[in-house]
Chain A
Amino acid sequence: MSVPMSVTVGVVQFPGTNCDLDTLDALADLGARTALLRSDEISLGGVDAVVIPGGFAHGDYLRTGAIARFSPVMDAVASFAAGGGPVVGICNGFQVLTEAGLLPGALRPNAGLSFLCQPQKLMMASVNHVLGHGLSPSDELSIPINHFEGNYVCDGATLRRLRENGQVVMRYVGNPNGSVDDIAGICNETGNVVGLMPHPERATSELLGSTDGRKLLKALLYAAASSRQAAGHRAA
């Protein structure tokens, strides 16, 4: 599948973000235009989708994502998400989205207290979200994880809601970090905000051991194009 139309994806950079350039490269390689969005910007500059990449925003001081969520750019991301714009948080970006209240639950230190950096088998759970196009539930993916705080937790009522609404995006095959229900990624009720611990931008070439990350990023570009088209229709 080629990108249906040229879209622009903004990648947020906080002080301490370190996967921003890899993410920009991976998206550009798929034909997207890209824009780096600094954390002190108050506008997203008309991008069609936003990625909050991995890293250690503000040193992960206090809690992962706790300081980053108050950055000016996050107000713009929240408005963009509220309007249905596609937003994806990868690893630290997932943590930022939970702290910002754009996704439910939180991420705690891994159950084994080890920093995990390994290729990880995953299984798609739902595809009704901005990383789902072209994929099917039960599709297996291999994408690296690289985190200390990837242990997803939420209360029982939230977990029931996530399952019932199809908000569990993907699960670990062989739970590496103690996440409840093997959850590796979730989305909001409308499916336009997704958070996941695995790093799709690191699984984009055979040289890196897997190209499965491209499937997810392509799906995001498709969602960005659809969202732009919908926005165009609304404006017309």
Chain B
Amino acid sequence: MNRWDVLVEVSPRAEIADPAGTTIERALAALGFGGVSGVRVGKAIRMEVTAADASEARSVTEQMCDRLLANPVIEDARIELRAVAQDHST
């Protein structure tokens, strides 16, 4: 088995109003960052997953997203995987 650093990024779906994103976008504009648009606020969930290979790690993380981490009515989830460097001395 291998370990994977997993990052799940959960964001409000495109058609869902995101008042936090809108507020941040206005604040950025007020600070002079005028070229900013499309600010969306979601959440990042990091974890370590043990799985045989990358595809199993991805598939089990997708199941986590479907069941708990994201609500498909309002949110999209994006998954990033990175293999954890293995320590072969043990």
Partner of A106 from the list B23, B69, B71 (CB cut-off 8 Å) is: B71
B1-25 contacts to A, CB under 8 A, are 12, 15-17, 19-20, 23
The answer to whether the Cβ of B30 comes within 8 Å of any Cβ in the partner chain is no
CA distance A178 to B23 in the complex (A): 15
CA distance A112 to B15 in the complex (A): 18
The answer to whether the Cβ of B74 comes within 8 Å of any Cβ in the partner chain is yes
The residues of A with any CB-CB pair to B shorter than 8 Å are 62-63, 66-67, 70, 98-99, 104-106, 108-113, 151, 153-155, 178
Q: Are B12 and A108 interface neighbours, CB within 8 A? A: yes
Q: Are A153 and B71 interface neighbours, CB within 8 A? A: no
10 pairs from A and B in contact (CB 8 Å cutoff)? A62-B68, A106-B73, A108-B74, A110-B19, A111-B17, A151-B19, A153-B17, A155-B73, A178-B17, A178-B19
Considering the complex, give the chain A residue whose CB is closest to the CB of B23: A113
Known: A153-B74, A154-B73. A109 touches B20 (CB 8 A): yes
State the Cβ distance, A61 to closest chain B Cβ, in Å. 11
Q: Which interface class (under 10, 10 to 19, 20 to 34, 35 or more) fits B?
A: 10 to 19
**Dominant secondary structure of chain A at its interface with chain B:** loop
**Most chain B CB neighbours (cut-off 10 Å) among A62, A70, A113:** A62
Considering the complex, give the chain B residue whose CB is closest to the CB of A107: B74
CA distance A106 to B15 in the complex (A): 13
CB neighbours (8 Å) of B23 from chain A are 113
Q: Are A113 and B71 interface neighbours, CB within 8 A? A: no
Q: Are B68 and A113 interface neighbours, CB within 8 A? A: no
CB neighbours (8 Å) of A104 from chain B are 73
CB neighbours (8 Å) of B15 from chain A are 155
State the Cβ distance, B19 to closest chain A Cβ, in Å. 5
CB neighbours (8 Å) of B74 from chain A are 106, 108, 153
Known: A113-B23, A153-B74, A154-B73. A108 touches B68 (CB 8 A): no
CA distance A110 to B15 in the complex (A): 16
CA distance A63 to B73 in the complex (A): 12
CB neighbours (8 Å) of B68 from chain A are 62, 66-67, 70
Q: Are A111 and B19 interface neighbours, CB within 8 A? A: yes
